Chain A
């Protein structure tokens, strides 16, 4: 056994000795790319040296806020130099995504106390909370809002308002609009507002022109590279959360702009929650999205 270990060490040393002094000149194009990169450092726009240089793209450019990435690596490098010890490498890409997400979480002005997605560490619990809320409801469409039939029956002028506070941030601005539609509906013939019946809620316009794909192929061929929700232009105030099978939030964005192009995520199945307001109604769509290259 000891003999084997020694032989292995010897083997390693031999390889090391042979490989260590090896040099191979890169192609001349590399310097040009490097010079180009260095030029771009002063300006905020980064470009990828290779047309299909997905790695750099994912590493520097596509990071939603490149500064975050640079700062992260910079911190890493500072570590190496300040201490003689070799430290762990600067965290890979995933934390960058997280920090980008952190920045993507807007500090909503009228944020309710119940669901504060401000802090990414709470994000998981947010999702759990949403999931719980979901499980409590049989319907996919309405979510803890004043529009749900249940709440409608006992709707008094005060209660919807109280419920508004419980609503999710993304749609916190909605109550005014919702109340408006509510009152529109309440203009139904000779029925007093308090006597609204749930049946009137049934013909809610389904956003049929909304198409959410269930697969994307972020392989750089410009086809289905991004998670593109078609018909988004008809929605207002949307909020999307994308998470892994393990429930880890990897993307959270209000006013999603069809720009989630996960070129640094492994292939697999991810899940999304997509909340939006469509013709004054609040909807929630959830489902899976397969990432396949």
Chain B
């Protein structure tokens, strides 16, 4: 069982398809979960995964063992997903201002009877703008400023979209609990 570093070396030196496959097998499930969170359809998530990995493999040499390999890949995946969202008008990160019902039973704790898959499904149902902001802030842990830069929107918009995303999620979770 080779370590990641050895596999990376093999990939860079020989463009070794076997080593690439091994790396892919190790990380594809984690990366696919990220793609799923950003992309509304399964097919687009697969597209994002493939393009993301294509860039990872072509740019492996620029990963100079600084920090974690997985973190590096995750960042590429996230940025790749976002630029795909941005480039496709179908998922334009529009600021659709939809009315959100006031928290009628503002439960912001999560019950135990919901699993990660359900949560991801709920996140994916969010409108593209809300979804990206929520993913970036709550899960990837970027700051408002960074998100504003990434999505090319202003910080106030980031805040309001995040707020609305949270409200929608909380409402949906409340419904889910019932």
Contacts and interface: CB of A to CB of B under 8 A. Distances in A.
Interface of A: 7-8, 10-12, 14-16, 18-27, 29-31, 33-35, 37-38, 41, 49-50, 53-56, 58-60, 70, 73-74, 76-78, 80-82, 84, 86, 88-90, 92-94, 264-267, 293
B67 A59 contact: no
Given A19-B139, A264-B89, A76 B47 contact: no
B137 A12 contact: yes
A33 B139 CA distance: 28
B99 to A, nearest CB: 20
Nearest to A76: B79
A78 B53 CA distance: 15
Nearest to B138: A12
28 contacts: A11-B170, A12-B166, A14-B109, A15-B169, A18-B119, A19-B33, A25-B28, A34-B24, A34-B49, A34-B54, A34-B57, A35-B21, A37-B51, A38-B15, A38-B20, A38-B57, A41-B54, A53-B43, A54-B88, A74-B59, A80-B76, A81-B62, A86-B75, A88-B146, A90-B79, A92-B83, A293-B89, A293-B90
A20 B150 contact: no
A53 B47 contact: yes
B28 A77 contact: no
Interface of B: 15, 17, 20-21, 24, 28-30, 32-33, 36-37, 43-51, 53-55, 57-59, 62-64, 66-67, 72, 75-76, 79-80, 82-84, 86-90, 92, 108-110, 114-117, 119-120, 123, 137-139, 141-142, 146, 149-150, 152, 166, 169-170
Nearest to B106: A7
Considering residues A34, A80, A267, which has the most beta carbons from chain B within 10 angstroms of its beta carbon?
A: A34
Given A10-B108, A11-B108, A14-B109, A30 B87 contact: no
A57 to B, nearest CB: 9
A19 B50 contact: no
Given A60-B51, A89-B150, A21 B116 contact: yes
Contacts, number: 177
A81 B72 contact: yes
B44 A55 contact: yes
A217 to B, nearest CB: 13
B76 A22 contact: no
A26 B49 contact: yes
A78 B150 contact: no
Contacts of A16: 138-139, 141
A262 to B, nearest CB: 9
Contact of A77 (B17, B55, B92, B149): B55
A19 B32 contact: no
Contacts of B20: 35, 38
Contacts of B50: 30, 33-34, 37, 49, 56
Nearest to A54: B88
A26 B170 contact: no
B110 to A, nearest CB: 5
A23 to B, nearest CB: 4
A33 B146 CA distance: 32
Contact of B89 (A26, A70, A265): A265
A15 B138 contact: yes
Nearest to A21: B116
Contacts of A15: 110, 119, 123, 138-139, 169
